[in-house]
Structure 1
């Protein structure tokens, strides 16, 4: 477990366009209720593991960086028998998700509106059975590649939280992100399962707004699947 009291550097946007009045209402009325307690350093300075009894033994999934939330809500509605945590620091995306949750009336979602590394600190070993990383920030400049999620600083804590045999899905439209993913993920304790391209996504995949934008601009999606190695 991570026990340092130091604050981490965080790269990326937290705020975007001015929120609509309805989105401010969603944040005011729904965010605290849906947020997992005990994740932040302020609320849990000793970094004690989370008590997952609230999930009643159901399979636990995680989506890292859910964007506008359409895939996350789709998965929650498709699999009501599982519990899903969505992690996203971008306030505008969080507000969009909260509106979608109200509309879809799903009840099996929890949120961490912040840095996923803080969540990794306090998740118990082997508690996750599926993880989604959809169109992560590509950090295209070579000097920024170390900020990508698919580095050991992120992947090894993630691997600790995943059960043996758990599935990791990665979707990206950036060829160099594919390269780095294929190089780094196996080093962190995962077996490569498959890589597919346009029109060959997972059966339960919901194409996101970002993916549709990428397709319009001529960028092709890549879908990569890994399995957490035992031991």
Structure 2
């Protein structure tokens, strides 16, 4: 069987910020490899062989967080849902280091971490293997010419639909009104239904929500969070 051709993908955004603390460097050196979900990068898995989620988490349902930022929400969910496995993808290495420190302090053991592009993860996740997905305060790309860079576009939503189980929940949180507009326009086009029945369904946070540092910044600056819940159909 021939080796798949790597698609041409542009990446937009930061990969690294300020200099890491020594403790954060230690987390990356000592913990990251053990928390890897497997061969996700093309260099390590050029044939794009599928990951084995049962090998990772046993028979637990598997959740996916896209762009976990500093990781506080993912660790919160992992601690409160020990019978669930959670995969997080984040290319910003400072955020990955922050997450690793939180994992150590919380002592959670049901998280896998991919320090890279979620599109590479989509390539190797089996179809209908994910029970829930989170997109929380994604990069807003506010300029009109940059809206195609947002997650809520065909390039991301089609593979997200493929890896989600029928009936799986997809949560989106954002404080950017135009991101809400684009989300409500685009997500249903790719096999999702919006579950809101009343204004409180998008104005009030989920019962198991942990407010992230990005949300706290939005509130300080006077922006209003929106909580959108979709179901894969």
TM-score (norm 1): 0.96
Paired with 1:120 and 1:6, the residues of 2 have a C-alpha distance of: 13
Paired with 1:212 and 1:94, the residues of 2 have a C-alpha distance of: 20
Q: Does 1:94 align with 2:96?
A: yes
Q: Does 1:114 align with 2:120?
A: no
The runs of 4+ residues in structure 1 deviating greater than 3 Å are none
Aligned residues: CA RMSD: 1.1
Shift of 1:7: 4.6
How many residue pairs were aligned? 226
Paired with 2:221 and 2:4, the residues of 1 have a C-alpha distance of: 44
Give the 3-state SS of the residue equivalent to 1:178 in structure 2: helix
Q: Deviations over 1:68-122 (max 9, x none)?
A: 0000000000000000001000000000000000000000000111000000001
Instruction: Tell whether the 8 Å contact from 1:37 to 1:43 is kept in structure 2 after alignment.
Output: no
Q: Does 1:84 align with 2:82?
A: no
Pairs within 5 Å for 1:118-137: 118-137=120-139
User: Which residue does 1:52 correspond to in 2?
Assistant: 53
Among 199, 205, 210, the alignment partner of 1:206 is 210
User: Which residue does 2:73 correspond to in 1?
Assistant: 71
Give the 3-state SS of the residue equivalent to 1:179 in structure 2: helix
User: Which residue does 1:220 correspond to in 2?
Assistant: 224
User: Which residue does 1:162 correspond to in 2?
Assistant: 164
User: Which residue does 1:5 correspond to in 2?
Assistant: 6
Structure 1: gaps spanning 5 or more residues:
none
Pairs within 5 Å for 1:161-200: 161-194=163-196, 195-197=201-203, 200=204
Shift of 1:3: 3.2
Paired with 2:229 and 2:31, the residues of 1 have a C-alpha distance of: 33
TM-score (norm 2): 0.95
* Structure 2 CA distance for partners of 1:87 and 1:37, relative to 1, 3 Å: same
Give the 3-state SS of the residue equivalent to 2:152 in structure 1: coil
Q: Deviations over 1:147-204 (max 9, x none)?
A: 000001100000000000000000000000000000000001001102411xx10000
